[in-house]
Structure 1
Amino acid sequence: MARGPASVPASPWWTPSVHADRRPLLLARNRIEAAVRGYFADADFVLVDPPGLQRSPGNETHLHAFSTLAIGNDGAGETLYLHTSPEFSMKKLLAAGEQRIAAIGHVWRNRERSALHHPEFTMLEWYRAEEPYDAVIADCIALVRRAAQVAGTTELRFRDRGCDPLAEPERLSVADAFERHAGISLFETMDAEGNTDAEALAGQMRGRGLDVPRDPTWSYLFSRVLVERVEPVLGNGRLTVLDRYPAAEAALARRVPGDRRVAERFELYGCGVELANGFGELTDPVEQRRRFRLEMDEKQRLYGETYPLDEDLLAALSLMRPTSGVAMGFDRLVMLAVGARRIEDVLWVPVVGGAQ
């Protein structure tokens, strides 16, 4: 089957010869999207169509939104945002009584462009009300396998890394992954309630030869270790489910029963690439408001800006049943199935400009 171009083309994507090279990958993308839609239909999901414009684009520290000015009939303006995920809209639908819902659509994230990032990309997001966390993990694995099958491959690839989608996935807790791949004990940096100690983590990092900046936050240090030591070795040879995130890194997830240090959050990796991020969803509006405020306080400290809280979402949470949900990067799924080297190789029309 066709594989992605080996290097960045010198000519624009709309040059006929460049498009001819890309076209087999784009047609494979269409086949994979049809297969994904078929999967959700077979599993009795209702496909919904959340709007891109929102009063709040999301309330996580490191997610950055695009904003616009909506002008009313009276000429007055209101700042709206392009959503970074359809999550808030979909949770309101769950509160309204929907049971299994899925969406396939565009989302927007600012300050993100690389071989694996694009400012406008396609996200798959789905929810199962009153179903366990493991059910959406099983969905993820099934979708990856279906994408590989439709693409006509038995191996996912990203550059020099390969992954057998049919092999039994590895399931690894975040704490075990840090111990195994970075020699760091996360639980020694947290108390029983999940409160974190940045200096304790910094000390372990120094002992492992990792640079530590002055006055770092625990979250910053956690991300450094994850990106530099853990993520590159996940999903090589077989898929990896990285499970049970520290509660401090799971603002939208409920805590694991019996261990308040960790939450029902997982990420799925193939070939060192994060494909999906899922949760046992938090439905306590008081706790969710507290976490959102903490995230926005940190965003103000780091970036000098905040986003408004979605008061409708917070009001709706009390009506939600226990729910599990996932967001999957559709473009990345296609990339691995067709062996593309850059996300732009599998986008019909890439956004102009920006770092490549």
Structure 2
Amino acid sequence: MTDPVTDLVSAPAASPFWQADVLADRLPRLAARGRITAALRSYFAAGDFVEAETPVLQVSPGNEVHLHAFATTLIDNDGTPSRLYLHTSPEFTAKKLLAGGVPRLFTLARVFRNRERTDLHHPEFTLLEWYRAREDYGVLVEDCAGLLRIAADAAGAESLRFRGRSADPRAGVERVTVVEAFRDLAGIDLPASLADADRPDRTVLAAQARAAGIRIADDDTWADIFTRVMVEKIEPRLGHGRPTALMDYPASEAALARRKPSDPRLSERFELYACGVELANGFGELTDAAEQRRRFEADMAEKQRLYGERHPIDADFLAALAAMPPASGIALGVDRLVMLLTGATRITDVLWAPVARHGTAL
């Protein structure tokens, strides 16, 4: 009788990343990754940013509904155990540093997300996050344009490429609002469902989505329908020819962003796309600690309903938030950027050592 645990550990891996022939095929992309990372650092050094090293272990891994964390146990010297998590983003630590007086910072952080493994997702990956105190979130779009240019130069790439799609990394970033994208790409009048910014109208959005050919389930929420329209109608058509910043998401879809003063139905949030692939997610940061707690608590109630679990709220983060200056911040997926600049079709093609799955690394 075999031991399934022993078999899992001892089973030979198929095409492990370290085999000479496998590694030789991957080395050109990995070398480009090193040059790209060095170029990213040079961009921030030229802009007087501080590079912060953020701890992986956190009291809370974040409080977004659909993010799943890895949990671990810290044992103190006296043997007392406590639950900690591998962070899903360095955001909480970075904002604490902003509150402490660091005006501009960036971090290249290894982050961890459970239940995520596709050609574009990996359980462990690298996020580039940067923050600007007292600067508008629109400046981050210009940062993205600059970073794409220098990263392309470092990689020796003429274009960003993914599965037959391409975009010019030196053409600047076009800006399209979420409202415009829903109207022009899906034929949906999104504001019609946002009369109440805190309680978007599911019935109105569902009717329009069905008319656009989107299949809707009876138990789909407004957020579910919004996401389905994004995935089926919007995202695949963004960032063709040149990168696109999808601007100003509905307030309910931006848990950590502040609302637009000119239109409280919307938030100061954008996402950067190239070749139909999301590369970055930026915010005008919410600094109202009471409002942030309310949003976290609502999201954790939804997480409990959907997944039967919730993450703790970091009280120290909320205390720092109350002292944080107005700021903008953004997270960019380094692995995806390397993929698009080297023409890779899987994230594992640009990782030095992919995380094994059941004894198989690739």
Q: Which residues in structure 2 correspond to 1:20-59 (within 5 Å)?
A: 20-59=24-63
Residue 160 (structure 1) aligned to one of 157, 164, 167: 164
Native 8 Å contact 2:30 2:351 kept in 1: yes
User: Could you tell me which amino acid in structure 2 is paired with residue 313 of structure 1?
Assistant: F
Q: Does 1:243 align with 2:247?
A: yes
Counterpart of 2:10?
none
Which secondary structure does the structure 2 equivalent of 1:98 belong to?
Answer: coil
Q: Determine what percentage of the aligned residue pairs are the same residue.
A: 58
1:239-297 deviations in Å (ceiling 9; x for gaps): 00000000000010011112111000000000101000000000000110011111111
Deviation of the 1:192 alpha carbon: 4.8
Q: Which moved more, 1:143-152 or 1:259-268?
A: 143-152
Q: Which moved more, 1:145-154 or 1:56-65?
A: 145-154
User: Could you tell me which amino acid in structure 1 is paired with residue 146 of structure 2?
Assistant: A
Counterpart of 1:353?
357
Native 8 Å contact 1:194 1:260 kept in 2: no
Residue 112 (structure 2) aligned to one of 108, 114, 119: 108
User: Could you tell me which amino acid in structure 2 is paired with residue 219 of structure 1?
Assistant: A
Counterpart of 1:97?
101
Q: Which residues in structure 2 correspond to 1:196-215 (within 5 Å)?
A: 196-215=200-219
Deviation of the 1:131 alpha carbon: 1.0
Counterpart of 1:171?
175
TM-score by length of 1: 0.95
CA distance in 1: counterparts of 2:144 and 2:172, whole angstroms = 13
Counterpart of 1:131?
135
Which secondary structure does the structure 2 equivalent of 1:242 belong to?
Answer: strand
Which secondary structure does the structure 2 equivalent of 1:114 belong to?
Answer: coil
User: Could you tell me which amino acid in structure 2 is paired with residue 49 of structure 1?
Assistant: E
Which secondary structure does the structure 1 equivalent of 2:139 belong to?
Answer: helix
Counterpart of 2:6?
none
Q: Does 1:190 align with 2:194?
A: yes
Aligned residues: 348
Q: Which moved more, 1:17-26 or 1:187-196?
A: 187-196
TM-score by length of 2: 0.94
Q: Please give the root-mean-square deviation of Cα atoms over the aligned residues, in Å.
A: 1.4
CA distance in 2: counterparts of 1:78 and 1:238, whole angstroms = 48
CA distance in 1: counterparts of 2:18 and 2:61, whole angstroms = 32
Runs of at least 4 residues of structure 1 off by over 6 A? none
Q: Which moved more, 1:63-72 or 1:194-203?
A: 194-203
Q: Which moved more, 1:191-200 or 1:279-288?
A: 191-200
Native 8 Å contact 1:124 1:327 kept in 2: yes
CA distance in 2: counterparts of 1:268 and 1:297, whole angstroms = 29
1:105-124 deviations in Å (ceiling 9; x for gaps): 20000110011000000000
Counterpart of 2:298?
294
1:143-182 deviations in Å (ceiling 9; x for gaps): 1111111111111101211111122422100111011111
Which secondary structure does the structure 2 equivalent of 1:121 belong to?
Answer: strand
CA distance in 2: counterparts of 1:168 and 1:28, whole angstroms = 22
Deviation of the 1:11 alpha carbon: 2.2
Q: Which residues in structure 2 correspond to 1:237-316 (within 5 Å)?
A: 237-316=241-320
Which secondary structure does the structure 2 equivalent of 1:245 belong to?
Answer: coil
CA distance in 2: counterparts of 1:193 and 1:270, whole angstroms = 29
User: Could you tell me which amino acid in structure 1 is paired with residue 156 of structure 2?
Assistant: G
Deviation of the 1:234 alpha carbon: 0.3
